[in-house]
Amino acid sequence: MTDDCLFCKIVAGEIPATIRFRDDSVIAFEDLNPQAPTHLLVVPRTHVRDIVELGQDPQLAGAFVAGVRATAAELGLTAFRTVFNTGAEVGQSVFHVHAHLLSGRPMGWPPG
């Protein structure tokens, strides 16, 4: 846990969030500014800055992806989009790796 990380504080229960899924590796909670009818943030319980750093730990990366899949399954989602922002230039505002899990509306391509 990093003392100044918003998501670490949510994982620790220090900041309230609407939790929709949790297991030993991840926690998933509702985004405060949803961009789709279903918009969750899935975060590993371990603090990792971004997907680049996550890739340095294949076991944690695998557990994280499995947690995204388990979250979608728990919610009964059969079609969804996952978004990873890496770097402030593309919209990462909390530097604790997280997947945006979006569903419930048509999504165009390309995104953005």
pTM: 0.94
Helix (H) or strand (E) holding 99: strand 99-103
Q: Backbone phi, then psi, for 26, in 5-degree steps?
A: -135, 165
Distance CA 83, CA 12 (A): 24
Distance CA 25, CA 22 (A): 8
Q: Verify whether residue 98 is a known catalytic residue.
A: yes
Q: Per residue in 72-83, pLDDT tens? A: 999 999 999 999
Q: Has residue 64 been placed in a domain?
A: yes
Q: Backbone phi, then psi, for 68, in 5-degree steps?
A: -65, -45
Q: Has residue 43 been placed in a domain?
A: yes
Count of structural domains, the chain: 1
Helix extents (H) in the chain = 6-11, 51-54, 58-74
Stretches where the chain sits below pLDDT 70 are: 112
Domain containing 53 equals 6-103
Q: Which amino acid, one-letter code, is at 40?
A: L
Which of 39, 47, 96, 98 is flagged as catalytic? Answer: 98
CATH number for the domain that contains residue 12? 3.30.428.10
